[in-house]
Homo-oligomer: A and B are copies of this chain.
Amino acid sequence: MTALKNDRFLRALLKQPVDVTPVWMMRQAGRYLPEYRASRAKAGDFMSLCMNPEFACEVTMQPLDRYPQLDAAILFSDILTIPDAMGQGLYFETGEGPRFKKVVSTLADIEALPIPDPHKDLGYVMDAVSTIRRELNGRVPLIGFSGSPWTLATYMVEGGSSKDFRKIKAMLYDNPQAMHLLLDKLAQSVTSYLNGQIMAGAQAVQIFDTWGGNLSAAAYQEFSLAYMRKIVSGLIREHEGRKVPVILFTKNGGLWLESIADAGADALGLDWTCDIGNARSRVGDKVSLQGNMDPTVLYAKPEAIRAEVGRILASYGKGSGHVFNLGHGITPEVDPEHAGAFLRAVHELSAQYHE
């Protein structure tokens, strides 16, 4: 494999010195980019983009070609590939988000679920990783990812997106054994899926716990964090002679940073409700931090975006251990020029904190 030309992202995750704070954006290959919309129109629909390694590679590269400041690429895929590979029948309805043909309701449904084999059942993702890695040719590191067991389970039990998660919460409180069996199967699946991505060339992995923050403090520990900890302990942590950092991101998990920092990962993702300086003092030297600008700041003018970047950098303060990012994915209506202003501001304003 080609040597990495830009390893700022990996270095910051491991708290090694960097020249400027590295930056990438969650959902950086996405609908705010006209070139992405063109590729999607060509592919037909969202899942055709994900399932075709050439298309997945094409859209992964687009933001890197547009923004030379980006310090990492992220695999273009969906978080619901695992439930789909378990036979749930993922599909997308316009304006409705993801849906499943089968819904998991009973212990029998859960017992019948297979653990997908990453190469046999999710080969298109492994192929996308190796294709992208080849195309990157050492430009920046490639991030692999998966949804967390709890987050995947919400879609499987609710049958799609949900406002209040009433079906899965009823299952959690009425039938915790069934809930644990489902989460355990998902944790096994995520572990081998992420290890497959690492072996195919992912140089860091992120677990997206998008809905863990909707649980009570006690339920979060038992039904979300415990399974992420289990995954982390089963991951390949070194490959190609280099550490493979793991990032855990629980949206709305700011109350629980101390316990998330104890789960064994190298870094935590922060949404924008946490002050990053305060978060740094809470987690100490245990982990690096990734985040955390409110993505809607990108609707403001470039001067305001720059000011907010400066505020966050100052809050984190001097030294390595910070990967700049948004606190959640970039939204489709953002002006690509504003995204560019954001990325430039991170590099320009952060050098002073790394002298």
Q: Are B255 and A174 interface neighbours, CB within 8 A?
A: no
> A170 contacts B217, CB within 8 Å?
no
Q: Which residues of B contact A38 (CB under 8 A)?
A: none
Residues of B within 8 A of A217 (CB): 272-275, 278
Q: What count of chain A residues pass the 8 Å CB interface test?
A: 40
- Answer whether residue A111 sits at the interface, using C-beta atoms and an 8 A cutoff: no
> In the complex, what distance in Å separates the CA atom of A323 from the CA atom of B145?
42
Cross-chain contact of A331 among B164, B294, B304, B333 (Cβ < 8 A): B164
Interface flag for A41 (CB, 8 Å):
no
Which of A7-15, A78-86, A200-208, A295-303 contacts its partner? Answer: A295-303
Contact in complex: B164, A300 (CB < 8 Å): no
A180 at the interface (CB under 8 A from B): no
Chain B residue numbers with a CB within 8 Å of A272 are: 216-217
Query: Copies of this chain, how many?
Result: 2
Known A273-B217, A274-B255: A170·B311 in contact at CB below 8 Å:
no
B residues less than 8 Å from A170 (CB atoms): 296, 299-300
Known: A294-B169, A294-B216, A311-B218. A304 touches B174 (CB 8 A): yes
A170-182 vs B, Cβ < 8 Å mask (1 yes, 0 no)? 1011100000000
Residues of B within 8 Å of A19, CB to CB, are: none
- Do the beta carbons of B174 and A301 come within 8 Å of each other? yes
A259-277 CB mask vs B (1 if < 8 Å, else 0) is 0000000000000111100
A3, B249: Cα distance in complex, Å: 53
Chain B's closest residue to A176 (CB) is B304
A308 at the interface (CB under 8 A from B): yes
What separation, in Å, do the CA atoms of A213 and B252 have in the docked complex?
10
Kindly list chain B residues whose C-beta atoms are within 8 Å of the C-beta of A273. 213-217, 220, 252, 255
Tell me whether chain A's interface is mostly helix, strand or loop, or mixed: helix
Considering the complex, give the chain B residue whose CB is closest to the CB of A213: B273
- Asked whether, in the complex, the Cβ of A169 is within 8 Å of the Cβ of B215, the reply is no
> How distant is the Cα of A165 from the Cα of B294 in the complex, in angstroms?
11
Tell me the smallest distance from the CB of A115 to a CB of chain B, in Å.
28
Query: CB-CB contacts of A135-169 with B at 8 A, as 1s and 0s?
Result: 00000000000000000000000000000111101
Chain A 282-311, CB-CB to B under 8 Å as 1, else 0, gives 000000000000111101110011011001
A214 to B254, CA, bound (A): 12
Most buried by B among A215, A297, A299, A308: A299
Interface centre among A213, A274, A296 (most CB of B within 10 A): A296
Please determine whether A169 and B297 come into contact, CB atoms closer than 8 angstroms. yes
Q: What's the Cα separation between A90 and B218 when bound, in Å? A: 39
Q: Which 9 A-B pairs have the closest CB atoms?
A: A173-B300, A217-B275, A169-B296, A173-B304, A170-B299, A216-B272, A174-B300, A166-B299, A254-B255
Query: Could you name 23 residue pairs across A and B whose Cβ atoms are closer than 8 Å?
Result: A165-B296, A166-B333, A167-B299, A169-B294, A170-B296, A170-B300, A173-B297, A173-B300, A173-B304, A173-B307, A173-B308, A174-B304, A213-B273, A214-B273, A215-B273, A216-B273, A217-B274, A217-B275, A218-B275, A220-B273, A252-B252, A254-B254, A255-B273
